[in-house]
A and B are shown apart, each in its own frame.
Chain A
Amino acid sequence: MIWDWDFALRIIPDILRGLGTTVIATFFGSLLALAVGLVIALANRSDVTAVRRSSRGFAEFIRRTPLLVQLYFIYFVLPQAGVVLPPLLCGVIALGLHTGAYLSEVYRAGIDGVPRGQWEAARALNYQQGQTWLKIILPQAIPPMIPAIGNYIILMFKDSALLSIIAVPELMSMSRNIGNDSYRYLEPLTIAAILYLLLSGIAVLLLRIIESRSGMARLTG
Chain B
Amino acid sequence: MSQFSDYAWMILDGTWVTVKITVVASVVAVIVALLTGVARTSKFFWIRLGPTLFVELFRGTSCYVQLFWAFFALPFIGISLTPFVASVLVLGANVGSYGSEVVRGAIAGVPRGQTEASVALNFTKLQRFRHVVFPQALVAMLPPAGNLFIDLLKLTPLTSLITMSDLTYNAMAVRQQTGSTFIALATILVGYFLMSSAIAWAIGRIERRASRGLETGPRAA
Shortest CB-to-CB span from A70 to chain B, Å, is: 8
Chain A residues contacting B193 (CB-CB under 8 Å) are: 61, 64-65
Alpha-carbon distance A72/B200, docked complex (angstroms): 25
Q: Are B185 and A69 in contact (CB under 8 A)?
A: yes
Whose C-beta in chain B lies nearest to the C-beta of A155?
B62
Q: Are A200 and B188 in contact (CB under 8 A)?
A: no
Chain B residues contacting A73 (CB-CB under 8 Å) are: 185-186, 189
Whose C-beta in chain A lies nearest to the C-beta of B66?
A193
Q: Are B61 and A197 in contact (CB under 8 A)?
A: yes
A69 touching B61 in the complex, CB below 8 Å, given contacts A64-B150, A77-B181: no
A67 contacts partner chain B, Cβ-Cβ < 8 Å? yes
B27 contacts partner chain A, Cβ-Cβ < 8 Å? no
Whose C-beta in chain A lies nearest to the C-beta of B168?
A69
Interface core residue of B65, B160, B181 (most chain A CB under 10 Å): B65
Chain A residues contacting B189 (CB-CB under 8 Å) are: 61, 65, 69-70, 73
Within 8 A of B (CB), among A203-220: none
Q: Are A72 and B172 in contact (CB under 8 A)?
A: yes
Whose C-beta in chain A lies nearest to the C-beta of B185?
A73
Total interface residues in chain B, CB < 8 Å: 38
Shortest CB-to-CB span from A51 to chain B, Å, is: 21
Alpha-carbon distance A67/B154, docked complex (angstroms): 7
Alpha-carbon distance A69/B172, docked complex (angstroms): 10
Interface core residue of A68, A80, A192 (most chain B CB under 10 Å): A68
B119 contacts partner chain A, Cβ-Cβ < 8 Å? no
A192 touching B62 in the complex, CB below 8 Å, given contacts A77-B185, A186-B77: no
A76 touching B185 in the complex, CB below 8 Å, given contacts A189-B68, A189-B72, A189-B73: yes
Residues 153-195 of chain A: 1 if any B CB is under 8 Å from the residue's CB, otherwise 0? Answer: 0000011011001000000100010010000111001101100
Alpha-carbon distance A68/B185, docked complex (angstroms): 11
A117 contacts partner chain B, Cβ-Cβ < 8 Å? no
Shortest CB-to-CB span from B64 to chain A, Å, is: 5
A139 contacts partner chain B, Cβ-Cβ < 8 Å? no
Q: Are A66 and B157 in contact (CB under 8 A)?
A: yes
A201 contacts partner chain B, Cβ-Cβ < 8 Å? yes
B128 contacts partner chain A, Cβ-Cβ < 8 Å? no
- In the complex, which of the residues A64, A68, A158, A161 contacts B157, with contact meaning CB atoms closer than 8 Å? A68
Alpha-carbon distance A176/B73, docked complex (angstroms): 11
A27 contacts partner chain B, Cβ-Cβ < 8 Å? no
A197 touching B57 in the complex, CB below 8 Å, given contacts A2-B77, A76-B175, A159-B62: yes
Chain A residues contacting B186 (CB-CB under 8 Å) are: 73
Residues 81-96 of chain A: 1 if any B CB is under 8 Å from the residue's CB, otherwise 0? Answer: 0000000000000000
A119 contacts partner chain B, Cβ-Cβ < 8 Å? no
Alpha-carbon distance A190/B70, docked complex (angstroms): 10
Residues 66-84 of chain B: 1 if any A CB is under 8 Å from the residue's CB, otherwise 0? Answer: 1011001101110000000
Task: Please list 16 pairs of residues, one from A and one from B, whose beta carbons are closer than 8 Å in the complex, sorted by A's number.
Answer: A61-B189, A64-B200, A65-B154, A66-B157, A70-B189, A72-B172, A76-B175, A77-B181, A159-B62, A161-B64, A162-B62, A172-B68, A184-B76, A186-B76, A189-B68, A201-B56
Q: A2-B77, A80-B182, A158-B60 are in contact. List 6 more A-B contacts (CB 8 A).
A: A64-B197, A65-B192, A158-B61, A161-B62, A186-B76, A196-B62
Interface residues of A (CB under 8 A from B): 2, 61, 64-70, 72-73, 76-77, 80, 158-159, 161-162, 165, 172, 176, 179, 184-186, 189-190, 192-193, 196-197, 200-201
Top 4 A-B pairs ranked by shortest CB distance? Answer: A64-B196, A158-B62, A186-B76, A197-B60
Interface residues of B (CB under 8 A from A): 56-57, 60-62, 64-66, 68-69, 72-73, 75-77, 150, 153-158, 160-161, 168, 172, 175, 181-182, 185-186, 188-189, 192-193, 196-197, 200
